[in-house]
A and B are shown apart, each in its own frame.
Chain A
Amino acid sequence: GDSVTQMEGPVTLSEEAFLTINCTYTATGYPSLFWYVQYPGEGLQLLLKATKADDKGSNKGFEATYRKETTSFHLEKGSVQVSDSAVYFCALRGFQAGTALIFGKGTTLSVSS
Chain B
Amino acid sequence: DVKVTQSSRYLVKRTGEKVFLECVQDMDHENMFWYRQDPGLGLRLIYFSYDVKMKEKGDIPEGYSVSREKKERFSLILESASTNQTSMYLCASDTPGGGYGYTFGSGTRLTVV
Chain A residues within 8 Å of B, Cβ to Cβ: 32, 34, 36, 42-46, 49, 51, 89, 91, 93, 97-106
Minimum CB–CB distance for A37 against chain B, Å: 11
11 examples of A-B residue contacts, CB within 8 angstroms: A32-B98, A44-B90, A46-B101, A46-B102, A49-B101, A89-B42, A93-B98, A99-B98, A101-B98, A102-B45, A106-B43
Interface contact A105-B40, CB-CB below 8 Å: yes
Q: How large is the interface on B (under 10, 10 to 19, 20 to 34, 35 or more residues)?
A: 20 to 34
User: Total number of A-B contacts with CB less than 8 angstroms?
Assistant: 57
Over the window 66-103 of chain B, the binary record of Cβ atoms lying under 8 Å from chain A Cβ atoms (1 yes, 0 no) is 00000000000000000000000010100010111111
Chain B residues within 8 Å of A, Cβ to Cβ: 4, 33, 35, 40-43, 45, 48, 50, 56, 58, 90, 92, 96, 98-107
Which residue from chain B places its CB closest to the CB of A51 in the assembled complex?
B99
Known A-B contacts A44-B90, A100-B33, A100-B58; A106 and B42 likewise in contact (beta carbons under 8 Å): yes
Interface contact A103-B104, CB-CB below 8 Å: no
Minimum CB–CB distance for B56 against chain A, Å: 8
Interface contact A34-B107, CB-CB below 8 Å: no
Known A-B contacts A51-B99, A100-B48; A105 and B33 likewise in contact (beta carbons under 8 Å): no
User: Bound complex: CA of A102 vs CA of B102, how far in Å?
Assistant: 11
Known: A34-B101, A43-B104, A49-B100; 12 extra A-B contacts, CB below 8 A, are A32-B101, A42-B107, A43-B90, A43-B105, A49-B101, A89-B43, A97-B96, A100-B48, A102-B45, A103-B35, A103-B42, A106-B43
